Amino acid sequence: MAAFFGDNQFKFGLFGINCAGGMTPSRAPERWRADWDEMVAVAKLVDDAGVEFMLPIAKWHGLGGEADMWGRSFETFTQAGALGALTKRTGLFVTAHVSLITAAFAAKAIATVDHATHGRAGLNIVCGWNPDEFSPHGITLDGGNRYERGLEWFEIYDKLLEGGPKFDWKGRFYDLQGLVTDPLPVQRPRPPVMSAAQSGDGQAFAARAADILFTSLQSLDVARDTVTRFKALAATHGRKPDVYVETQFVCKPTCKEALEYAHYYAVEMADPDALAYFARQKARTMSISTKTGDTAADRQLADTLSGARKQPYPGMFAGMYPVIGSPDDVVEELKKISAIGVAGSTLVFLNYLRELPYFIQEVFPRMERAGLRMKVAA
Ligand SMILES: Cc1cc2nc3c(=O)[nH]c(=O)nc-3n(C[C@H](O)[C@H](O)[C@H](O)COP(=O)(O)O)c2cc1C
């Protein structure tokens, strides 16, 4: 299974509109507030522009600080059902936390979204990183075995979607009886599965379970290494997943304006308390491969969490690659990112509704001329 979402050389996934703050830990007053009507307006914009999919974040706890980023968030399965009814072609991912959502629930819910959208659903499986998100549910997150548990969860989910007769499951983490689901999703053998991870352990999980690995992009060299390693690992399981990376855009008519705006919201207005909390919580559940520095990505992540690696723009997350400049500059950078072998990246802005129209108007036609995207059919 490869090359989801059509033939564009470089695909986009709109990321994080269901949460206040989106993906930007900034105190800037014009930051994203996750107002429902604004969210719908953005969903329609990207749908018309041919953006391949939308990816929400499953969140149960804010980051604190002045802005309390993610303190307000819409639930992702129900949001996808609603946005699916208001859009025509964009893919709609939902995000399931393995320890909060049962495989049987996920199978039924994804089938619901897939039928409602005539085959546009996708599932992002996340194994969790912030213990504070699990305590409201009475669950303790175990960082050490989260991916083993995730793999067993995926195997149950996958078997359910095969659509065979009722079965029981007895494994290391789950002891379940009478598993069966009807209806099956429209997409066969199943809607695309995404796994978002940076660590070597997370990549190993994705190589077994995912059709798409979504990973961070701190530097082009490390990302190139990740793509090569990951694709080779997946091939040993007979699989050919796509790789996507995280990018955040600041695009203005001139490079000077873009740099000034990025400096304003992601340096001057960065939310230090939220960022400190984020790093603290991530460190609490660090993957084993990150502790032992297995891959270049693990070593980079460990350096970021320990503070040894400094961010030029602290008000953008460490794994979020800043693409800053004029429309021409942005396309030049996207060509370099595409050349490392990724299928696409995230569309992230401080304020999606203010910044996307200019981006779509100026960057998309340039990408078409550069062969990265094709014109959208009317
Ligand atoms: C594109 C992307 C989307 C993610 N979405 C979520 C999410 O919705 N909810 C969540 O709790 N974690 C989310 N994560 C976090 C990852 O699932 C994972 O827990 C985190 O990357 C730490 O794992 P690692 O250190 O093993 O890579 C996301 C990460 C990425 C890169």
- Contact residues for 177 (Cβ-Cβ < 8 A; gap 6+): 168
- Which residue's alpha carbon is nearest to atom 29 within ligand 1? 196
Show the domain range for 40.
11-369
Q: Is residue 4 part of a domain?
A: no
Confidence bin at 2 (pLDDT 50/70/90)? very low
Instruction: Give distance in angstroms: CA of 95 to centre of ligand 1.
Output: 10
Decide if 376 is inside a domain. Answer: no
Residue 368 burial by Cβ neighbours in a 10 Å radius (0-12, 13-18, 19+): middle
Nearest CA-CA partner of 363 in 333, 338, 318, 322: 333
Q: Count how many residues are written for the chain.
A: 378
Task: Kindly give the number of the ligand 1 atom that is closest to the alpha carbon of 301.
Answer: 25
User: What would the mean pLDDT of 148-175 be, rounded to a whole number?
Assistant: 97
Burial code (b: 16+ CB inside 10 Å, e: under 16) for 163-191 equals beeeeebeeeeeeeeebebeebbbbeebb
CB 287 near ligand 1, within 6 Å: yes
Query: What CATH number is associated with residue 360?
Result: 3.20.20.30
Within a 13 Å sphere around the CA of 70, how many CA atoms are in the beta-carbon half? Answer: 21
Structure-model confidence comparison of residues 309 and 122, the more confident one = 122
Is there a domain that residue 165 lies in? yes
Tell me which of 12, 53, 54, 57 to substitute to probe ligand 1's pocket, judged by most ligand atoms within 8 Å of the beta carbon. Answer: 57
* CB-ligand 1 contact for 246 (6 Å cutoff): yes
- Summarised one tens digit per residue, pLDDT across range 311-335 is 889 999 888 999 999 999 999 999 9
Q: How confident is the model at residue 53, as a pLDDT? A: 97
Site to substitute for ligand 1 among 74, 129, 243, most atoms within 8 A of C-beta:
129
Please tell me if the CB atom of residue 57 comes closer than 6 angstroms to any atom of ligand 1: yes
Mean pLDDT of the region 6-17: 96
pLDDT at position 252: 98
Q: Which of 38-52, 78-92, 139-153, 298-312 has the lowest mean pLDDT?
A: 298-312
Does residue 214's CB lie within 6 angstroms of at least one atom of ligand 1?
Answer: yes
126 alpha carbon – ligand 1 mean position (Å)? 6
Mean pLDDT over each residue of the chain, to the nearest integer? 94
Per-residue pLDDT, averaged over 288-314, amounts to: 81
Nearest atom (ligand 1) to Cα of 129? 19
What's the 197 CA to ligand 1 centre distance in angstroms?
A: 6
pTM of the model: 0.95
pLDDT exceeds cutoff 80 at 206:
yes
At 12-71, the pLDDT tens digits run 999 999 999 999 999 999 999 999 999 999 999 999 999 999 999 999 999 999 999 999
Distance from the CA of 245 to the center of ligand 1, in angstroms? Answer: 12
pLDDT at 349: 98
Q: Ligand 1: does its nearest atom lie under 6 Å from the Cβ of 245?
A: no
Distance set, CA 48 to CA 89, 197, 289, 299, 357 (Å): 8, 29, 41, 40, 11
Q: 311 alpha carbon to ligand 1 midpoint, in Å?
A: 19
Question: Domain for residue 111, yes or no?
Answer: yes
198 lines ligand 1 (CB under 6 A): yes
Separation of 199 CA from ligand 1 center, angstroms? 10
**pLDDT tier for residue 378 given thresholds of 50, 70 and 90:** confident
* CA 141 – CA 128 distance, rounded (Å): 7
pLDDT at residue 318 in the model = 85
Per-residue pLDDT band at 303 (split at 50, 70, 90): confident
Helices 103-116 and 76-86: crossing angle, nearest 10°?
Answer: 10
Q: How far is the CA of 205 from the centre of ligand 1 (A)?
A: 13
Percent of the chain with pLDDT over 90: 82
Whether 2 maps to a domain, the answer reads no
Residue 378 lies in a domain: no
pLDDT given at position 302: 79
Residue range 207-211: mean pLDDT, rounded:
95
Higher-confidence residue: 70 or 378? Answer: 70
In a domain, 377, yes or no: no
Confirm or reject: Cβ of 197 under 6 Å from ligand 1. Answer: yes
Indicate whether 99 belongs to any domain.
Answer: yes
Question: With a 6 A CB cut-off, is 129 part of the ligand 1 pocket?
Answer: yes
CA of 99 to the centre of ligand 1 (A): 14
pLDDT at 282 over 90: no
Q: How many domains does the chain have?
A: 1
Q: Residue 264 in contact with residue 337, Cβ under 8 Å?
A: no
Mean pLDDT of 145-170: 96
